[in-house]
Amino acid sequence: MDYVILLTGCINPNGMSFTILSDINIRMKQYIEAIDFYLGNTAYPIIFAENSGTDISEHYAKDVINKRLEILSFEGNSNKKKGKGYGEAEIIDYVLKNSQTIKSINGDCSIIKITGRLIVSNINKIINTRLLFQHNSSILASFNSNFSFVDSRIFIAPIDFYKSFLHKKEEINDSNNYYFENALADCIIKENRYRYYPFYVEPQIIGQSGTTGNYYIQQELTVNNRFRYLVHIYKTIIIFYERISCNKIDCCILATYKLAYHFLRIIEKAIFLIS
């Protein structure tokens, strides 16, 4: 299974709605810091795709030449009324149609889509856990509590899933309260070719929200927090395949998840009583 890291970007939002962080210099600095991190800390090919026509190739001439990094820049965001989520979908569409990195990969490929200004500090652990415990064609993402919204800062899926997701591109419209994250949630729920899983390792995200301007706060990696997160992912899998998904999981596998979940809940209650 090949992996490609896709960093999506918009250096110059130029009046994009629902975007507080609009300073071009700050945004460019954040993109460069993130690209540098992934170049220095991963071994996977990286695509940085940007939709405001701002080319930063001069910063990475060597990496572009040796095909470690591909930089794509185009004039997107033509329909600002639909918002930045629509622009994000445009970027994915452009990448699938124009990326030489994608075209050069033979066979299966999973794309690790990350918001380009953000650093996922434990990205290698996330990928390695997927390789160990989940099917290599699975979809990894984080739903909200009612499964209507997926955290789009990072998700991992086979390339064909992205192609299916783009069928919903024209439905994305921030002004109508149907966001990129809602479209992504709906597509995962209806998907019947690939299994969905939460991240077994919680993504540790460093950076600033473009929507609110707030900085993301990383969870402390305490034993209690890790334990609670493990309980959360088992609960998510059970609810998803019992009540939400169109793609039902084998009953024996689901029973195993239920057994593990209830065992963890018993331990959790025992720890609470002791403390």
Whole-number pLDDT of residue 274: 56
| Distance from C-alpha of 40 to C-alpha of 34, rounded to nearest angstrom | 10
Contacts of 109 (CB under 8 A, 6+ apart): 1, 2, 3, 4, 102, 158, 159
| Distance from C-alpha of 77 to C-alpha of 18, rounded to nearest angstrom | 13
Query: In the CATH scheme, what is the homologous superfamily, with its name and number, of domain 2-218?
Result: Spore Coat Polysaccharide Biosynthesis Protein SpsA; Chain A (3.90.550.10)
> Nearest CA to 91 among 56, 48, 130, 124?
48
Sign of CA dihedral 219, 221, 224, 228: positive
Task: List, for residues 63-95, the tens digit of each pLDDT value.
Answer: 999 999 999 999 987 777 888 899 999 999 999
Task: List, for residues 146-159, the tens digit of each pLDDT value.
Answer: 999 999 999 999 99
Contacts of 165 (CB under 8 A, 6+ apart): 89, 92, 183, 184, 187
Provide Rg for the chain, Cα atoms.
19
Task: List, for residues 187-215, the tens digit of each pLDDT value.
Answer: 999 998 999 999 999 999 999 988 788 89
Q: How many CA atoms lie within 13 A of 233 on its CB side?
A: 16
Q: Alpha carbon 4 to chain centroid distance?
A: 12
- Whether the per-residue pLDDT at 18 is higher than 70: the answer is no
Q: pTM score, two decimals?
A: 0.93
| Distance from C-alpha of 185 to C-alpha of 150, rounded to nearest angstrom | 5
Query: Is the backbone of residue 247 left (phi > 0), alpha (psi -120 to 50) or beta?
Result: beta
| Through-space distance between the first and last CA atoms of the chain, rounded to whole angstroms | 44
Whole-number pLDDT of residue 245: 94
